[in-house]
Every structure is written in structure tokens, then in C-alpha cells.
Chains A and B, each alone.
Chain A
């Protein structure tokens, strides 16, 4: 099967930036489908993070076909990917969801030889090591579920087999958000979340699969217990972890729990909470209100997550080719630049660089002080000159990942215990 011409978007890229010419040269392809591709519609669904209408509009403009986006919460995404393979063409899911969904056979393996920028994908998603010296973090590290044995594989293999389960698209390193003005002293450990000093002013997110990982970071930091693998706890470890937090909850440590992005922003902006688990864009949302808020790097490291796109097993013919073209386009830089200007990272940072100004690249990726105003993709000013990204450069942040979002063998038990924690 041949690939589809990249002419249209390449031309655009050249217009925008000379650097993309390299990418265009790297993707020579005969004109095969031409007009037919315009009638193709690909149905993508996933969590809200990267399901952006701007991306769909840009796909129409650059590639000519239609991308339909559906945003769902992660539970629904998992269910749909696992039970309704015909309802989607492209699944935009997180790696821990992939661990649950891949064995069902509803996704098809992707041939890495058709991925033009495969060799430029960050090491985290291939060998598991960001740099040759990196230590692989606990939890569902993306490379452990990123490859399968062959075109029809239902298993995961640990080496780069040439067949990928998901093509990485977006990822980040999460930590605690704090209000430095209300705390007034340096915070450097996860254990501070349960520090009685912040009684009634702490919060944690009420999404069990992510919350439990934040809890594990806190428990380890307190010196209460060291997990063999935070990403795969035993029942006893789950009891221990939630026990510590239930005790803290009963003692009034928490002001509230949050479930939606906007709730976390409001809790922080109003000063109800001064320290809590938080997501990167929420920090910028608080800051854009003129309220100081820091995405605090901590000694124990970050809790990281990664998302990628997978292809439905039902995809074939021109739709499959269009999907490959979409993936290649995704990694060619425009989307990466769009996402990186929101504080996320792209799987192929070097292509994104062509779609960012030098100042933006310096601020978001290299951890340098901003030279002028830093705006988000929607034009809102997020940082002013002199500001430095919390946690520093890409390598400082992604190099300090302590664990990945994970799905445990004892997941159902954990969920039950989580409900008891909330009701306690």
C-alpha cells in the first residue's frame, strides 16, 4: 500500500517556515487517491485534552479530509474502545487505557516504517529512556504497552518491534500546585499535602486511577512505606494508602475534592485551597487571573501521563491510508506546536519547533526566561517577559518522572476502596 501525497500540507508548511521543507523532502509520495481522499471522514474520540476543534479544522485545511471529534471522560473512552470497535476510526487514549483495551483486539498495530518521523519520537515512547542514562519510572510506562509482536499481535513486547499500539501524541509531568503567596515558604516534598500546617486547605482529585498515584507519592514521601511498584499495588498496599488518607480526611485535612478541571481552578483561585493535585493548564488558568500559582517541582519527582492515537481494527483501504497520513501530519509539527504552547509536550519536539517562535520554544521547552509576552494558542497572554517555566526545561521535567498513570491488577478492589474513602 502506498502512502498518500503530502503535497498540500507541505506547501503550506514551506510558506510558514522554511524548516518544514526538510519534512516535505522526507515524505515523497506518489499521487494516488487525490480527490477521493476529500470524501473520507475519520471519526476520532478521546478525552478532552487533545480533542480540539482547531485540530479538526486544520486537518480539513491541510489534508482535505474530515475529522470528527468526540470528547468523553476517560471511563467512557475505555468502555467505548473496548466494547464498540465499529463506533470509531481513531482512538485518542492514554497509555494506561491502552493496557486495558489492546488485548481486546479492537485496535490494529501500526507499521512504524510508514511513520515518517518515527526515529525522531522521544525515547520515552520507544526504549523507555528519555536519555541513555534515564531510569524507567514505575507504573504503566508508555513503552511497556507501546509495541506489539506483529501486525496481528494482541500482546505487548518490550523492544521496538516495528509495530506500535499507539502513536504518542501528547504527554506531561504532573505535580502539586501551590499558592506561594498563601504558603509563604518553600515546598519541596509530596508529603506537604498531608502536612497539618495546611489543615482544611488541601485538596486531591476525585478520579481514582490518578488520585491513588498522587497518594502513593505522598505516602512514600512521608516515609510511611516504599512501594515495590506504585503502579501495581497489592490489596494490602491499597488499604494502607487509603487508610492514611482516610485518617487525614477525618482529621479535616481536606477542604474539598475536585473532579473537573474548572473545580480545581476555582478552589485554587478563591484561596479555599493552597496545595492540591493539579493539571498544568489549570495552573495557567489561575495565573491568568493575576493570582500567583506555582506548579511546584518536588524532590520525589513527577507523576506523568501520556496519550496516543490508535487505529480501529476495522480501518482499511483509503480510510487506513488517510489515518496514516493524519498520524504523519500529527507528528509533523503543527499540532505539537499548538499543544506545547499550552504547556504539554509533543512526541516529536523538534518538528514542533518549526511552528513556535524562538521565545516560545525557549520558554516552554528549554526552560529559559521569556523574552516577551508568552501567549497561548488562543492569543491570551499567559506569561510576561522574564517568567520561567516551573520545573525548568523538558529534560529537567520529563527526566524526573517517578511514576506513570497506571491501571492495577487490583483495579476493581481499588475503586471500591476509593468509594469508601470518599464516603468516610
Chain B
């Protein structure tokens, strides 16, 4: 019996991807695309130095964002799971974390722009405190603002899975570690972190795939001055170069799958869940 799930996945996931792969071999004129089987799109992609730079930039954003979301996400989850004692407060504080998600992520992102601008709140505060004399230019339309927005948008995707795994840790294990004379740091490093690995890994997959597939955050927060793979695809679509966009999308998909494959080799999520 073909399960409904298999059917849904075939129609809405597998078929579109197959279509993208097919179109990536097609050809394009200035305003039309025509069926063909040619490697032009890939040849151009791999032949251009820009492609490598853009992919490198995409990895850079993913890497730095991952470090920050992990540090913040882990800390928040740790606080919620181990420092907040009552379940009621845990739930209340956890829900508090999700409140920003009541607004669209584009609005949350764009609201940084007036805040970080040359005459924005951040700069005027810093100047009035005497920290700086001139407004800081790098606060907005820079890699800093892009990564800041990413961290802001995606930290919760780290908090939730880590918090979830932490809640399953048997508290007696922590007590046992303390009884055996472990310091707080030793308990954290040898007990909590190994047991939270599956949560960390799930959060990592969320953050890495979201950042690598993004185009809108990079466009707005860098003032269109930086590029990642998503923007490359968006530009191609804007110029009606669908086959070229598809080829880039296929390469991006393969790259992301390879990254996830690598991550899953490090931690066996199924075994540890």
C-alpha cells in the first residue's frame, strides 16, 4: 500500500527536485528557455571564479552564524533546563523565547536597519556615552549586520532541540557526577554536552541549511553589497535565466546534503534520540 506520506513527498518534494535537475541542463535565450541536454550551465558555473568566492562567502556566513547560535542557544537552553526549577516557569520562559516569531522574520530583520544606521539608535547611544566620536560605519550594510541578523533570526532553532534533549537528561546523572567530585565545568563537559549532542546536531542542521539557503537577509542587511549562493540564484531568476539558476540550485543542494551527511557521521541521531 502506497502510504499517503510517500505520495505527498513524491509530488511535492521529489518531483520538483527532479524538475530542477532536468531544467539545469536546458538552454536559455534572453527571454525563453528550451529543452536540451548540455553542460553549459555547469561549465559556466565551475569556470567562474565568482562562483567559488560566493560559495566560500556562504560557508563563512553559515560557519560564523553556527558558532554564535550554538553558544547563545546552548546557554539559554542550559539555563531553562537546569537553572529554572519549576516546570511552569520553564514553559513560560520557553514561550517567551518564541514571541518574536509572532512577526514575520523579514520585519524582524528590517527593523535592525534603522537601529544600526549611521544616525540610528545604536550609534547615537554610543556617541552620547562617549564610547565613539564618529558613527560606526560597519554596524550596517556589512558582514557584521548580516551575521547579526542571522543570529537573531535563527538562535531559537538551536534553543528548541537542545532544550528538548536537555530535558530528557536524567537529573540523577548530574547528581552522580557531583557526588563523584566533578566540578561544574567537568560535569558540563563530560556529562551534559555528550548527552545533548543529538539536540546540538539537529539545531546545527536547522541553522546551517537555513543560512545556506537564505537570500533575502543577505540582500537587505548587506545593502546588496555581498552575495551568497541564494542571491546568485535570485539574480538568475530575475534575468529569466532559469536553467542557470537551476544548475546553481543543484550544486547548492548537493553541497548542503554533503554537509549534512558529514554532520550525521559525527553523531548518530537515531541511536541517541
Identify the A interface with B (CB < 8 A): 73, 75, 78-79, 82-83, 100, 200, 203, 206, 208, 249, 254-259, 266-267, 270-272, 411-412, 415, 419-420, 422-424
- Cβ contact of B32, chosen from A83, A266, A415, cutoff 8 A: A83
Is B223 in the interface zone, CB < 8 Å from A? yes
Q: Which B residues are in CB contact (< 8 Å) with A78?
A: 31
When the two chains form the complex, which single residue of A266, A422, A424 contacts B224, counting CB atoms closer than 8 Å? A422
Give every chain B residue within 8 A of A420 (Cβ-Cβ): 48, 50
- What does DSSP make chain A's interface, helix, strand, loop or mixed? helix
The residue in chain B whose Cβ has the minimal distance to the Cβ of A80 is: B31
**A423 CB contact (under 8 Å) in B137, B219, B232:** B232
B31/A100 in contact, CB under 8 A: yes
Q: Residue of A at shortest CB range from B48? A: A420
Would you list 28 pairs from A and B whose C-beta atoms are within 8 A, ordered by A residue? A73-B238, A75-B240, A79-B240, A82-B31, A100-B31, A206-B224, A208-B239, A254-B225, A256-B141, A256-B223, A257-B223, A257-B225, A258-B223, A259-B219, A267-B223, A270-B119, A271-B119, A411-B30, A419-B227, A419-B235, A420-B48, A420-B50, A422-B225, A423-B50, A423-B54, A423-B57, A423-B232, A424-B50
Total A-B residue contacts, Cβ distance less than 8 Å: 71
Tell me which residues across on chain B come within 8 A of A259, comparing CB atoms.
219, 224
Residues in A whose Cβ lies below 8 Å from that of B141: 255-256, 272
Interface flag for B153 (CB, 8 Å): no
Nearest CB in chain A to that of B119: its residue: A271
| CB-based contact A423/B32 at 8 Å | no
Whether the pair B31, A83 counts as a contact (CB closer than 8 A) is yes
On whether the beta carbons of A256 and B224 are closer than 8 Å, the reply is yes
Give Cα A78 to B114, complex, Å.
35
Determine the residue in chain B with the shortest Cβ distance to A104. B31
Q: Which 9 residue pairs of A and B lie closest in terms of their CB atoms, listed nearest first?
A: A256-B223, A423-B227, A257-B224, A82-B31, A256-B141, A79-B31, A420-B50, A206-B224, A423-B50
Query: In the complex the two chains form, is A412's CB within 8 Å of B30's CB?
Result: yes
B53 within 8 A of A: yes
Is B159 interfacial (CB 8 A cutoff)? no
Residues of B within 8 A of A424 (CB): 50
Chain B neighbourhood of A271, CB < 8 A:
117-119
B166 at the interface (CB under 8 A from A): no
Q: B232 touching A419 by the CB < 8 A rule?
A: yes
For A254, the closest partner residue in chain B by CB is: B225
- Is the CB of B140 closer than 8 A to any CB of chain A? yes
Instruction: Kindly identify, within residues 48 to 90 of chain B, every residue whose CB is under 8 Å from any CB belonging to chain A.
Output: 48, 50, 53-54, 57
Smallest Cβ-Cβ distance to A74: which chain B residue: B238
CB distance from A295 to the nearest CB of B (A): 22
**Contacting pair A255 B223 (CB below 8 A):** yes
CB distance from B92 to the nearest CB of A (A): 38
Residues of chain A lying within 8 A (CB to CB) of residue B239 = 75, 208, 415
- Cβ–Cβ < 8 Å partners of B32 in chain A: 82-83
A137 smallest CB distance to B (angstroms): 24
State the CA gap A75–B238 with chains docked (Å): 7
B225 to chain A, nearest CB (A): 6
Contacts of B224 in A (CB 8 A): 206, 256-259, 422
For residue A272, give the distance in angstroms from its CB to the closest CB of chain B: 5
